[in-house]
Structure 1
Amino acid sequence: MWTDKQRGIRVSKEELLCKNACGYYGNPLWQGFCSKCWRERARSVGSPRQDTRPSTDKSPLTFSKFEEKKNSEKGRRINTVRKFFWGSPSTPKRQESSESYTNVLKAYQSLEPGDFTGFLKLLRSAPSQRLQSQCTAFLNTMEAYHDLKVQKQSDFVQDFYQSFAECFRGLPEAQVTCIMEHVEKLIMTRLHKWVFCHDSCDDEQKDLALQRRIRSFNWVTPQMLGVPFPDKKTEVTGDPFLPAITAIIEMDAKRAPQDKLACVSKCSQHVFEGLSGSSTEPANADDFLSGLIYVVLKANPPRLHSNIKYVIRFGLPHSLKAGESGYYFTNLSCAVAFIEKLDGPALNLSPEEFEGYMLRQHVPSEGNERLQVSSDTRLMLEDLKGRQEKVDQGVDALSMELHEWVQAVHSQLNEATVQLALVQKELTAQAELTQESSSPISGSITERSGQ
C-alpha cells in the first residue's frame, strides 16, 4: 500500500477517495470516508432513535429509505439547533418583504472571494441585520456553552453552516461558497480559543506523542523516502524544501480553518516547486507524498494533530471533500498516518537496521554523503578564501606600485620645474647682457648724427 522498492512511497488514487465511492476524498482520520459519509455513519451509529429490530421479511433496507431516514435525522438536528439559537424550529423569518430580501441577495452577489472586510461591511448593514443577529446569537451561545464536548460543538457549528447557507439558496453555488467561507472565518476566529485543543478530548496528548515520534525520525534522509533530491553534481545553496517547511509551521498561528488549509496548500505548492528543481523529470503524486512526508519530518509542526482535527471538525465540508485544498489536506493526513506507522520495510530497511538507526547506533550512508558534500563545500570555501587573499595581496601590491609611480612622477615634475627655473634664469641673464652690449653703439650713433 505505502511503499515500493523502486519509487519509495506510493498511494493509489482509490486509497485517497472515500470508501463509499461517492467521488470525494477520504481521510485516514475518518477511516477512509469523506466528511459527509463519516458524519452520516457516526450519526446513524450513535443515534438513540435508530431502529435495531430485525426485519420481518428478512429483506435489506433499500437505499432510498436509508437516505430518507438520514435526511430526516439531519433535519431534526438542524431544527434543534435553530430552536436552540433562534427560538424557533422553523427557518429564520423572512417576512421583512420579498423586495428587501432580494436587495440583500443582490448586495452579496457582488462580494469577491477573499474580501473579508467587504463581507463584514455587508453584514453590518441594515438589510443584513437579521443575519448579523443570527451570527451574534450563535457566537454568544457557543461561548456560554464552551464546556460542551468538542464533538457536540462540531455538530452545532456544522449545522449552523448548513442552516445559514439556506438563507442564500437563491444565489449561485459558487457565490454561496464564497459567502460561507467568510462566515466560517468570522465564526471560527471568535471560537478558536474555546474549541481548539479542547479539554474534552485527548488532542494535547496526541500532539506530544506525534511530536516525539517525529523527533525520533530525525535521521531519516530524502533518499530513504524516495524523494528526488539534488545530487553532488548539482549546486545547492540550501534545502529546496525550506519554504514548504516554513509554510507548514505557520499553520499553527492561524485561527480560521480555511487559513490553516491555505498554509497546507502553500506548503504543498512549495513541495512541488522543490521537486521540480531537484529533478529533471516532472513530479508525480508519489513524489509529492514522499516530499510532503519529508517536509513534515523536518518541520515537526507544532500541534499538528490538533490542527488537523480542528480543520476536520470546524471547517466547511466542501473544502475537505474536493478541490485542490481537499487533495492537499488528504495527502497531509496520509503523511501523518504513514509517520505513525513508519517502520523498517517502509524505508526499505531490515528490522535490525531500523532498530539500529532508532537507537542511534548507525548513521545513514546518505548522511555520510551529505557530510562529505559539506566537507567538500567547506574546502571549496577555504580555496575561495585563499584566492581572495591572493587577490587582496595583488591589490595591495598594485596600490604600492601606483603610489611609487605617483611619487616618481612628482619627483620628475619637481626636477623639471627646477631645470625650467634655471633655464629661465640663463635666458634672462643672456637678455640682460645683450641689452648692455647694444647700448654704447646706439649712443655713438646718436652723437655722430648731431655733428
Structure 2
Amino acid sequence: MWSERQRGIRVTQEELLCKNACGYYGNPAWQGFCSKCWRERSRAAGAQTQDARQTNDGTPLTFSKFEEKKSTEKGRRINTMRRLFWGSPSPPKRPETSESHARALKAYQSLDPGDFTGFLKLLRSPSSQRMQSRCTAFLNTMEAYHDLPVQKQSDLVQDFYQTFAEYFSCFSEAQVVQTMEHVEKLIMTRLHKWVFCHDSCDDEQKDLALQRRIRSLNWVTPQMLGVPFPDKKIGVTGDPFLPAITAIIEMDAKRAPQDKLACVCKCSQHVFEALSTSNSEPANADDFLSSLVYVVLKANPPRLHSNMQYVIRFGLPHSLMAGESGYYFTNLSCAVAFIEKLDGPALNLSKEEFGGYMMRGRAPSVRSERQKVAGDAQTVLEELQGRQEKLDEGMNALNVQLQQWVQVVETQLNEATSKFVTVQKEMAAQSVSSPHSAASQEEDMKDHMLLLLPDPDADPGDTDC
C-alpha cells in the first residue's frame, strides 16, 4: 500500500552533490555547496568586505596584524623566562637531520589504521621533534585566542590541516588521510572545550529550537513517513531501528569530529540493516532518508545542531566531501532540514489535519494502533490455543498407553497367580507321596515362580506372556 502512495521525502544523487558541480557532496548547511567551494566563496566574500572597510576607514583591520602583535608579546615573555632559567636567549636544540626525519616518516607509514596510541608514541619520539613542536605551538595559540569568532577558529584549524599534511607529501593519498585523522583527533580532543558550542555563535539557541521542533513532532508515525517496517510473518520483535537510535544519541559523548562522524556512519549502517529485515528488495535512497528522519524524530539527539556544526567546522574536509561518511552525513543534514521544514503535504496530510496534530487536538491513528495491538494479541492467543490443543492430545494418548499397560500387567499377574496355585497343588500332592523330597521340590517351585513373575524394571511394551 505504501509503495503506491506518493512519498513525502524524495532525494536524488544529483541533489546530494555540490551545486558547483565539483563532484563532491554538498550540504544544506553550506547552501548546497561542498566544504571546499563554500570556504572559497566565504573567503572571497570576506576579502571583499575587508577591502570595503579598508576603503572607508583607510586603516586595514586584518587579523594578521593583531596576531603578529600578540605573538610578539608572547615571544618576549617566553624569552624573558628562558633567560631566567637558562641564562641565554634560548636553550640549544639538537638539529633534526634528514635521515632521522626519513626514519620517522617510515614509522608513520607503517602505522596500522586507527592506532592512535602508536601515533602519539611516534610523535613524542626525538625524530618527530619538529612536528611535535608544530602541534604544541598551534594548540597553545588556539587556547590563547579562544575568544576569536568560531568561524575564524575554523579557518585556522583547516589551514593547519592543510599545511601539516605537507610533512607527509611523499605518502600515498590513503596514508595521508590515515595520518591526518590521527592529527585531527589529537588537535580537536584538546580544543573541544574551547570551540564546541562557542559563545560567538547561536548554536545553543538552535539546539533548543531543534529539540522543541522534534518534540512537537512526536506524533509522526512511520507510516506517515513511508518507512517500511518488518512484515508480521518475519520474527522481529520491538523497533528494528533501536540500534540506529542508540548510535545517533552516542554522538554527543564523543570529542573528536571523526568519532562523531563514526557514530553517524554506525547509525546509517544500522538503518540499512533494519531495512534489509523489513523488505525483501534492496533499500533505495528514499527509504534510507525517510528511515533516517524517523530515527532522528525518535531519538531527539542532544545538541544535534552543535554536533553537526562542530564536524562541519573542524573535521577533515575529505571526510565530508566524499566517501561513505560524506554520503551519510549529507543525508543526516537533509533529514534535519526536512524536519525543520516539515508540513502537511510532506506527510500526505491536509493543512487542517497537520494543524490538528500539531495542536494536540487528537492523537494520530489511535484506533488503528488499538486494532493493531488487538490483532497482535489475537494472533498470540491463537498460537497459544493451538499449542494447548497439541498438549491435550499428547496427554490423552499417554493416558491410553498407560491404561493398556496396566491391563497387560494385570493379565500377566492373574495368569502367574493361577499357575502358582496349580503348581502348589501339584507339589502338595507329591509331598504326600514322598515327604523326603519336599524340600528340593519347594526350591524348584521358587525358581519356577521367579521365572513366571514379570520384571518391574522392564518396559511395558517388552512384556510378553
1:9 partner SS: coil
Task: State the alpha-carbon separation in 1 of the partners of residues 219 and 49 from structure 2.
Answer: 52
> Which residue number in structure 2 is paired with residue 135 of structure 1?
135
Task: State the alpha-carbon separation in 2 of the partners of residues 170 and 95 from structure 1.
Answer: 22
CA contact (8 A) 2:207 2:303 kept: yes
How many residues align structurally? 410
Residue 372 of structure 1: how far off its partner (Å): 2.2
Is 1:193 aligned with 2:193?
yes
CA contact (8 A) 1:227 1:291 kept: yes
Q: How does 1:139-158 map to 2 (within 5 A)?
A: 139-158=139-158
Gaps of 5+ in 1: 54-72, 88-92, 440-451
2:175 partner SS: helix
Identity %: 67
CA contact (8 A) 1:214 1:300 kept: yes
Q: How does 1:1-400 map to 2 (within 5 A)?
A: 6-47=6-47, 50-52=50-52, 96-230=96-230, 236-365=236-365, 368-390=367-389
2:51 partner SS: coil
Amino acid at match of 1:351: K
Residue 320 of structure 1: how far off its partner (Å): 0.8
What's the RMSD between the two structures over aligned residues? 3.8
Residue 12 of structure 1: how far off its partner (Å): 3.4
Q: 1:81 to 1:122 in 2, by over 3 A?
A: farther
Cα deviations by residue, 1:208-254 (Å, 9 ceiling, x for unpaired): 21111112112222332233344566664333333322222222222
Q: 1:105 to 1:215 in 2, by over 3 A?
A: same
Per the normalisation by structure 1, the TM-score is: 0.77
Task: State the alpha-carbon separation in 1 of the partners of residues 390 and 96 from structure 2.
Answer: 84
> Which residue number in structure 1 is paired with residue 452 of structure 2?
none
Q: 1:39 to 1:232 in 2, by over 3 A?
A: same
CA contact (8 A) 1:81 1:160 kept: no
Residue 180 of structure 1: how far off its partner (Å): 0.5
Amino acid at match of 1:284: N
> Which residue number in structure 2 is paired with residue 57 of structure 1?
none
Residue 378 of structure 1: how far off its partner (Å): 0.9
Q: 1:94 to 1:8 in 2, by over 3 A?
A: farther
Q: 1:236 to 1:81 in 2, by over 3 A?
A: farther
Residue 316 of structure 1: how far off its partner (Å): 0.6
Residue 318 of structure 1: how far off its partner (Å): 0.9
CA contact (8 A) 2:24 2:322 kept: yes
Per the normalisation by structure 2, the TM-score is: 0.75
Task: State the alpha-carbon separation in 1 of the partners of residues 260 and 154 from structure 2.
Answer: 17
Residue 334 of structure 1: how far off its partner (Å): 0.9
Amino acid at match of 1:169: S
1:131 partner SS: helix
Return 172-181 or 396-405, whichever deviates more: 396-405
1:51 partner SS: helix
Residue 422 of structure 1: how far off its partner (Å): 6.2
1:154 partner SS: helix
Return 219-228 or 257-266, whichever deviates more: 219-228
Cα deviations by residue, 1:394-419 (Å, 9 ceiling, x for unpaired): 66667777887888888788878877
Task: State the alpha-carbon separation in 2 of the partners of residues 34 and 84 from structure 1.
Answer: 37
Residue 115 of structure 1: how far off its partner (Å): 2.0
Task: State the alpha-carbon separation in 1 of the partners of residues 46 and 377 from structure 2.
Answer: 63
1:8 partner SS: coil
Cα deviations by residue, 1:14-64 (Å, 9 ceiling, x for unpaired): 3322233222211111122211222222233334884349xxxxxxxxxxx
Residue 309 of structure 1: how far off its partner (Å): 0.8
Amino acid at match of 1:337: A
Amino acid at match of 2:164: F
CA contact (8 A) 1:85 1:137 kept: no
1:200 partner SS: coil
Task: State the alpha-carbon separation in 2 of the partners of residues 320 and 197 from structure 1.
Answer: 20
Residue 120 of structure 1: how far off its partner (Å): 2.2
CA contact (8 A) 1:85 1:138 kept: no
Residue 173 of structure 1: how far off its partner (Å): 2.0
Return 271-280 or 244-253, whichever deviates more: 271-280
Task: State the alpha-carbon separation in 2 of the partners of residues 171 and 85 from structure 1.
Answer: 38
CA contact (8 A) 1:85 1:141 kept: no
Return 4-13 or 191-200, whichever deviates more: 4-13
Residue 111 of structure 1: how far off its partner (Å): 1.6
Task: State the alpha-carbon separation in 1 of the partners of residues 135 and 433 from structure 2.
Answer: 119
> Which residue number in structure 2 is paired with residue 90 of structure 1?
none
Gaps of 5+ in 2: 54-61, 76-92, 439-465
CA contact (8 A) 2:196 2:310 kept: yes
